[in-house]
Amino acid sequence: MFDKIISGGKLEKKVIEDIKTHIKTLCLATECFKNALTSSDIESTFCVADLEREADSIRREIISTIHEGAFLPFIRPNICRFIEMVDEAFDILEDAAFEFRYLNMEVYRIIEPECVKIASINTNICELLSIAFDSLITKGDLKEKNLAIRVYEKQVDDLKFDITEKLRKIEIKNFWEGKIITDFVEYLTRISDLIEDASDYLYIIEISLR
Amino acid sequence: MNTKVKEVMNTKLETIKAEASVYDAIEKLVDKRMRSLIVLPRDEKDVYGVITVRDIVFKVIAKNLDPHKIRVEEIASKPVISIDKETDLEHLIKLMEKFNIARVFVHEGKEIVGVVSLLDVMGASLIERARRV
């Protein structure tokens, strides 16, 4: 699909490589967050912020290369929008990592198995987004990748329902304790939502190139 | 498929006592938004069973029987078909086909720790297909 508009351009190739790195960095961040949750190690959540900063500079690089003239003008806003969506997932992941540091661990223990599962799904869904982007470039079956991402997202939805059920039974005595745990769950479960949106957008880009 | 049962199994399980009424089972299934309940063994010599929405519809509702008057153990399937969590998904699919069942339970020792449904199998196969670049 992309070869129609790339036509051997150096700038286009650079953007594509940078987008791949951007998604891979998100995968690394979700992986590191999963490890932090699995080991309940608060210190290891700081890697998310480091990777977010790294991804921010890659994003700026991509946008400026596009403005230098990569791709035909009609496709530029779509590519920028896709990058913004991935970036939004990064921001939410960073928020989740931040809230995790302030969680009341006693309350967290109740929902820990579900949270670890979601973190693991977030890593898998991210890898699939990377595979989906490769499919867009190599004319693979993007629709299949898209469906698999939706399967993962549904699993996160079900787990969120289980977490909510558990949390409703807990007596929260402190405003901040309640706010932090609900925010944490909200951020953790939104990542897959954003990645699903990004994957949908890849499909829209593919259709618009037909 | 190289996927293991433990990778796709659902650990959300609900149980019911063998002597409970079918109506109690219906209430629990509706409340928990589930399609099956594990029927607990009556004693150490007994084994786990399972009661599904299908059992209730075909064995009670379709026959116009009163769910308050029928006990779970009267319509439950015993023993449950279960496998080890390290088993390959392929073997699980063969079991489902052989016994014409929509869910297989997962055991760890004597304890039931999870369940895999047809929908889980389908989801896992879709993901595996998508991962093949």
pLDDT at A2 over 70: no
Average pLDDT over residues A121-145: 92
pLDDT at A166 over 80: yes
Q: What is the pLDDT of residue A175?
A: 93
Nearest-10 crossing angle of helices A76-101, A10-39? 20
Chain B residues touching residue A135 (CB < 8 angstroms): 133
Residue of B12, B126, B133 lying closest to A147 (CB–CB):
B126
What residue ranges of chain B have pLDDT lower than 70? 1, 133
pLDDT at A8 over 70: no
For chains A and B, CB pairs below 8 A equal: 32
Average pLDDT over residues A83-108: 94
Q: Which residue of A has its CA nearest to B31?
A: A165
Contact A144 B131 (CB under 8 A): no
Q: What is the pLDDT of residue B44?
A: 83
pLDDT at A49 over 90: yes
CA geometry: angle B64, B53, B57, nearest 5 deg:
20
Q: What is the pLDDT of residue A5?
A: 58
Contact A152 B12 (CB under 8 A): no
Chain B residues touching residue A154 (CB < 8 angstroms): 123
Cis ω before B67 (30° cut-off from 0): no
Q: What is the pLDDT of residue B132?
A: 80
Neighbours of B109 (CB within 10 A): 7
Average pLDDT over residues A9-27: 93
Q: What is the pLDDT of residue A75?
A: 86
Q: What is the pLDDT of residue A4?
A: 53
Residue of B11, B12, B123 lying closest to A151 (CB–CB):
B123
Confidence of residue A154 (pLDDT cuts 50, 70, 90): very high
The residues facing B50 across adjacent strands are: B38, B77
Q: What's the pLDDT tens digit per position in A174-197?
A: 999 999 999 999 999 999 999 999
Higher-confidence residue: B120 or A5? Answer: B120
pLDDT at A132 over 90: yes
Q: Please state, in angstroms and as integers, the Cα–Cα distance from residue A167 to each residue in A62, A108, B84, following that order.
A: 41, 10, 31
